Structure 1
Amino acid sequence: MSKSDKSDDLNDLEQAQLALVRAQQRAMESGAKVLIIFEGRDAAGKDGTIRRVIEHLSVRATRVIALPKPSDRERSQWYFQRYVGHLPAAGEVVILNRSWYNRGGVEPVMGFCTPEEHENFLRDVSTFEAMLVESGLVVVKLWLDVSKKEQAKRLEERRTDPLKVLKSSPLDAAAQSKWDDYTKARDEMLKRTHAPRTPWVCVRNDDKTEGRLNVLRYLVNAMAPKDIAKKIKDPDPKVVFPFEIEALTDGRLER
């Protein structure tokens, strides 16, 4: 990438961030409630993308939620219960860095839930999300995907870079060894939980710079009033695109 291209990308990023700030100002004035769900494979770039999204947003009106594994008490509750208290109030943006969709991916792959619990989740989640929309929430669901080769590279960096050691997890090794299992779980989850009112939007994120910029563009278009959104380019459809069944076989999502 030339210096000119990098400069253009930085300018586009700043403009998208500025538009997102303006969109949040409008949301705070109108009392809008926004929930953004970030999901994806391990090392798909969720943390870095979220940092770009919130970089200039209001600290008071923006919350990023990344819950640890559930306690024994939480495991005895209704599955969605521990997330409900984190949902946005009027004027707030809440970002879930992983969400209830743990039960659609990591839990069944790693044996942390039963097949019945997994099936119940896939059956119930769209109804739960429809209730959120009916209550006035704007719900955005982003699936970040990455190639197996790029994932391996990023996981190795976690192991060897002292500044990235806190990103490492005991589950990292399974991301590669159980790649096909995660792919199967992803495919089933996307197919069964992609709904007209709460659709999945997919992000090809091998190139983090392009991925972050295009996620910001998408969020501006999803959240901002037309007078703000019209000033920002549409996301590159090769990077950010609505989920379709065909994406599972035509190469747009990594297998």
Structure 2
Amino acid sequence: MDPREMETLIQRLVTNPHDGEALAYAHRAGEQDPRSYAMLLERVGSSTADPSYAAHWLSEAANVWSTTIGDAHHAARTLMIAIDKDPTQRTAAERLAQLYRDKGDQKALVALLERLVKALTPLLFERPEVRAQLSTLHEELGRLWGEPPLSRPERALENWRRLADLDPHNVYAIYAARELLKAQQQYAEAIPYFAMEQALTSRWSRRSSTTRSGGSPCCATRPTSGAARATSPAPRRRCGARARSCRTTWG
């Protein structure tokens, strides 16, 4: 691709990220010269002021570096820049995490996930959607730290406790934190997790009993735990004729 032509396309896409004509032209040129195409997308991402658009362009550049050119190292470096631009954009984080999983590099994967946690935690109260992303990160970190080859139960415990704080209905996080505290003989700290689990179990038992005694089945539906619950909260809805005043109100 001619350097002057590339500069013109970069400026057009920085000015208007929806310039379909410029993007189509760049893509056609990229079929002949994928390296120049990847560099163009990378330059657009680096020059774009909006963090979301910048992360998008950099993620697309990394995709070309990885899948078309086969340069995983350059792709990983570009994805890390995209994450630094906007850690809330999941595409870059998921692609980089998958690169590390494919390589079996758990240390790099853990470092990435912890970097994301550090970047996202301050945004928790400003952007409610971040809660689901953080829940997913802590769940994977809890599992990775708790299993070989890392096997660091104290780090696993830290993440399961944070997940239980983010989602008090996540039974597995509560159970995992409780069991790790018991294993470390921290019984006093384990007691609140016993209480949390018992409260959830009692709630489900009462609702199951309502169903068996002829109550409305919708009143006994268990909430989805973990990140799926956070991203897809059950809507409030009225039950059927048997219990018109009942509503599903999880937490």
Do the structures match in fold with TM over 0.5? no
TM-score, length basis structure 2: 0.23
Higher relative strand content: 1
Per chain length, whose mean CA-contact separation is higher, i.e. which structure has more relative contact order (CA < 8 Å, sep 6+)?
1
Between structures 1 and 2, the one with greater helix share: 2
User: TM-score, normalization: structure 1?
Assistant: 0.23
Which protein has the larger Cα radius of gyration, Structure 1 or Structure 2? 2
